[in-house]
Amino acid sequence: REIRRLLARARLDDEKEGERPVRPGDIAILVRDRNEAAVMQQVLRDHRLNAVYLSARDNVLESPEADSLFMALNGILDLEDDRALIAALATPWFGYDTRALYRLQSDEHAWAEALEDVADLRQRWLNQGFMNMTLRLLQRHAHPDPVRHERMLTNSIHLLELLQEASQKHHQPRALVHWFQQAREEANTARGSEAQQLRLENDANLIQIVTLHGAKGLEYPVVFLPFVSYGRKPSDKELLVRYHDRNDYSARQVLNPDEQELAWYAEEQAAEEIRLLYVGATRAERRLYLLAAEFGQFPFSPLARCFAVDSFAALNEALRAHATEGCAGLLDLNELPEAAAEAPRDEVDDPPQPARFNGRIERDWWLSSFSALTRNARHGGLSTPDRDQDEPETPGEADEQGALRFTLARGAEAGNLLHDLLEWMDFPDPDLDNLIRRAAERYPMLLDPLEDKGSELARWVREILAAPLPSGARLADLPWHDTLRESAFYFPMHSGTARGRLAAILARHRHESEVFLAEPTALKGMLHGFVDLIYQWQGRFYVVDYKSTFLGDRLSDYREPWLTESIRKSFYDLQYLLYSLALHRYLRTRLSNYDPRRHLGGVEYLYLRGMAPGAPGGVYHCPPDIEAIEALDAFFTGQEVTP
């Protein structure tokens, strides 16, 4: 009530602006922790007053939005499970209330419609990625709580960004949800990274609820201290206490303390609370409210300790004795008239009008990638590095005593493991012990037990580094400054009608009469991708891609013609032509004397399971196809091309 009275009538003497009304942003409510903050936020919300809680310690993974998002994602993935689906529909992400959920139980058409919506979301997730699915979920289905819609949207978008970043490593939906579950559990025991710290709404015109620790060094025109008369009686059952030795003032931590140690601990806790009261009381520029109530443990409160009183009546007498006219006064909040609770008037006379959009959105502009071109799927965001995701995640054909290169599980996780090692590694001088230990922390299921698999993985990596490449080099010969790792590229697409033209260029490259490629009807936008490795050797530049593809449990299985069959089956030849085009355009802008016939060395696709010194294969090499690269260059700039 007092806050509403201030907002409705009181004025501040501002040095810059002169006398002006009190604004919500002028008011700070200082609390000890998030529990007290939650109490204050709820009461302010009940009185239609908006407030923001400012704390740098909160983790968005501990928010209610994280709980509801986890439930919604589980329901989308397991929509055949009625319990999981209904739990998802009951979250704010779908917004079904009790009445709507009851209707689903009795209306088959409504149930089928809800099931179809969720099935569409799952299909989007599987085919077009996590962010495409969740943006549709947020835009089409989410029902934020009107009371805290700003906070919910802030947290929700923050969570989606964290999950999108994690999806770059955890490509499969279930792997991503598993990561989300682990991250939420770890958030309860750890402070979390800076990226996970709670973001705040726009607090320009909101009442600010701030922790006493967070208010250090700050000042506010009006400050309320609502809980300084709330005390906590020292417990004689503390199992672990921290205090300072009274002789040398060194910090001590004691398990099962005795009475003397408990007394010292309680004394320091009381001193800390009084210090925080001092911090809070000195934050006010114009007006300070010390609020007191007759709590059960009032004698142990910092306010009671400061005034050396043991009852609420004694505090009243002490305050009256200290009150000085014009400087301090006593206010009984219970005596505030109801009229003081009226809402502050809106200074805007005319209601705001929604803006009208008169532009035109280009629906045919999109961000594409190699995967999108070969699968005819439109991406709603960035592509991800290729990690052999089409392979089934099953063990190799060799027995358990076979080499790790053949028994390592297939699929995206194995590809991620090997790609990460080679991306982090200094080829001539690799610190394999630390690199493999770091990889084991990220991929524990693949490298368990580390004692056995770590040494075998190190031996395998050394063999990869020592294997000769068609260029005449080895990876072990390439210093860091002659390489580019995980190079991302973008280039524009202005090809107009595209159907059949990419396939024709690829067919000419393969020396075949026809190639069947499911192409989009038109390409307009940007093409995006990642090149695992670009290196320079003897004046030429080479495009390298790492493949963890399993072709068999013998080194002889990784030679021609099986390498060419794997390349063409997965359209990796189109991939390396796109990568070569990206390198071609890059060098054209960097080298003044650039000549593709002199500077391009071609492509080398390293099938890592088959690479070893003296092995009969393991590396697919293709010399630079200048005609195909120039045809692609003209194709993406919108020129007519005769393959």
Q: What would the pLDDT profile of 624-642 be if each residue is shown by its tens digit?
A: 999 999 999 998 887 765 5
* Phi and psi, residue 397, nearest 5°: -80, -20
> Rounded mean pLDDT of 46-75?
82
Express as a percent the part of the chain with pLDDT over 90.
32
Express as a percent the part of the chain with pLDDT over 70.
84
More confident residue, 265 or 563: 563
The separation between CA 453 and the C-alpha centre of its own chain, rounded to angstroms, equals 31
Say how many C-beta atoms besides its own lie within 10 A of residue 624's C-beta.
22
Q: Looking at the predicted structure, is the pLDDT value of residue 5 above 70? A: yes
Q: Looking at the predicted structure, is the pLDDT value of residue 6 above 80? A: yes
The separation between CA 76 and the C-alpha centre of its own chain, rounded to angstroms, equals 20
pLDDT at residue 631, as a whole number: 92
More confident residue, 402 or 580: 580
Say how many C-beta atoms besides its own lie within 10 A of residue 553's C-beta.
16
Rounded CA separation 174/166 (Å): 12
Non-local CB neighbours of 269 within 8 Å, separated by 6+ positions: 234
Rounded CA separation 574/300 (Å): 75
What are the Cα distances from residue 243, in Å, to 187, 237, 264, 305, 477? 28, 16, 6, 20, 58
Residue 378: band (very low, low, confident or very high) from pLDDT cuts 50, 70, 90: very low
Rounded CA separation 463/457 (Å): 10
- Count CA atoms within 13 Å of residue 81 on its CB side: 12
Residue 428: band (very low, low, confident or very high) from pLDDT cuts 50, 70, 90: very high
- Count CA atoms within 13 Å of residue 243 on its CB side: 23
pLDDT at residue 425, as a whole number: 93
Q: What is the mean pLDDT of the chain?
A: 82
pLDDT at residue 544, as a whole number: 97
Non-local CB neighbours of 640 within 8 Å, separated by 6+ positions: 634
**Cβ pair 556, 609 in contact under 8 A:** no
pLDDT at residue 56, as a whole number: 44
Non-local CB neighbours of 181 within 8 Å, separated by 6+ positions: 70
- In 336-376, which residue ranges form alpha helices assigned H by DSSP? 370-375
The separation between CA 492 and the C-alpha centre of its own chain, rounded to angstroms, equals 28
Say how many C-beta atoms besides its own lie within 10 A of residue 229's C-beta.
20
Pick from 367-381, 494-508, 543-557: least confident = 367-381
- Cite the beta strand spans of 125-239 per DSSP E: 207-211, 220-225
Rounded CA separation 145/142 (Å): 10
For the stretch 437-464, pLDDT in tens is 888 888 888 887 777 788 899 999 999 9
What single letter denotes the amino acid at residue 295? F
- In 449-571, which residue ranges form alpha helices assigned H by DSSP? 450-466, 501-510, 562-569
As given in the structure block, the two tokens for residue 36 are 């007290």
pLDDT at residue 46, as a whole number: 84
Residue 380: band (very low, low, confident or very high) from pLDDT cuts 50, 70, 90: very low
> Rounded mean pLDDT of 226-241?
80
pLDDT at residue 551, as a whole number: 93
Helix (H) or strand (E) holding 523: strand 522-537
Pick from 310-319, 324-333, 391-400, 510-519: least confident = 391-400
Pick from 253-262, 388-397, 491-500: least confident = 388-397
pLDDT at residue 410, as a whole number: 84
> Rounded mean pLDDT of 148-158?
80
Rounded CA separation 39/57 (Å): 18
What are the Cα distances from residue 25, in Å, to 7, 343, 629? 10, 16, 60
pLDDT at residue 340, as a whole number: 44
For the stretch 166-217, pLDDT in tens is 888 888 888 899 999 888 887 655 444 445 555 454 555 788 888 888 777 7
Instruction: Report the candidate in 624, 609, 586 with the shortest Cα–Cα distance to residue 471.
Output: 624
Q: Looking at the predicted structure, is the pLDDT value of residue 299 above 70? A: yes
pLDDT at residue 394, as a whole number: 43
- Count CA atoms within 13 Å of residue 114 on its CB side: 25
Residue 641 carries which DSSP code? -
Non-local CB neighbours of 407 within 8 Å, separated by 6+ positions: 395, 396, 398, 400
